[in-house]
Amino acid sequence: MDVNFRKIDIDQYDEDALLDSELYEADPRDPAQALNDVKQKAASVRSSLAKGDIVGALTLVLEDAPYGPNLDDAKNLNLQTLVSILNSTKSSEIPGVIKALSTDAQDTLMKYLYKGMALPGWGDVSGSVLLGWHEKLTEVAGTGCIVRAMTDRRLV
């Protein structure tokens, strides 16, 4: 999500400006390490998918998802991996898969759905697939899950 809607940096005139870094703890990993983690996960996700284990694959990709600034490579790769899982799931299986996820994983999934919707046509992102998942996820996790995806500054 592009949240930088202000084009003029008014904070430069404020000596005591509130910085993003004060509002959340940054991802402890450095960019190379995060990218490496995500690459390894992508490989295990492929083998999980080959076995048809969608819940396992989703849990893997949503656990320790890279967030925050400076990790764009890792974040993009993780989104790609996630989208490949979403696209290969039959729509009838979606509710069962979502119910099997932890609440934390559900929150992270919601963040990725919104990120995907903000990038139409990027990679294999398909709006209708994302909307299908969004509908099912909201039925299970409620509006609270959407609110958390919007408030959390640890952007995936």
Partner 1 sequence: MAPPEAFSLSQQTPVTCHAFNADRTQLAVSLNSSDVLIYAREGNDWKHIETLSEHDKPVTSIDWAPKSNRIVTSAQDRNAYVWQQTPDPQTGHLIWKPTLVLLRINRAATYVRWSPKEDKFAVASGARAIAICSFDPEGDWWVSRLLKKPIRSTVLSVDWHPNNVLLAAGSADMKARVFSAYIKDVDKRPGPSVWGEKLPFNTICGEYASPAGGWVHDVAFSPSGDVLAFASHDSSITVVYPGGPAVYSIKMSILPLVTLTWTTEESIVAAGHDCQPLVFAGNQGGWEIVGGLDDPQSNKASGGSRSGFGGASPVGRLNSAAFNTFRNAAERGISNVPGSPTASSSNESELYTVHQNTITSVRPYDGVPGNVTRVSTSGVDGKLVVWDVSAVTPISATGLAGKLGKMQLR
Given the rule CB under 8 A, which residues bind partner 1? 18, 22-24, 103-104, 107, 138-139, 141-145, 147-148, 151-154
Contact 100, 55 (CB under 8 A): yes
- The angle formed by the CA atoms of residues 81, 83 and 84, to the nearest 5 degrees, is 65
Q: Please, which residue, 52 or 142, has the CB nearer to partner 1?
A: 142
| Beta carbon of residue 83, minimum distance to partner 1 (angstroms, whole number) | 23
Q: Are 59 and 101 in contact (CB under 8 A)?
A: yes
Nearer CB in complex with partner 1: 2/50:
2
Cβ closest to partner 1, residue 31 vs residue 95: 95
d(CA 11, CA 35): 32
Both structure tokens of 91: 């729509």
23 vs 50 by CB, closer to partner 1: 23
Nearest distance from C-beta of residue 144 to partner 1, angstroms: 3
As measured in angstroms, the least distance from the Cβ of 44 to partner 1 is 26
**Rounded Cα–Cα distance for residues 79 and 118 (Å):** 12
39 or 134, CB closer to partner 1?
Answer: 134
Per the CB < 8 A criterion, the answer to whether 80 and 43 are in contact is no
Q: How far is the CB of 26 from partner 1 (least distance, A)?
A: 13
Cβ at position 125, least distance to partner 1 in Å: 23
Contact 99, 59 (CB under 8 A): no
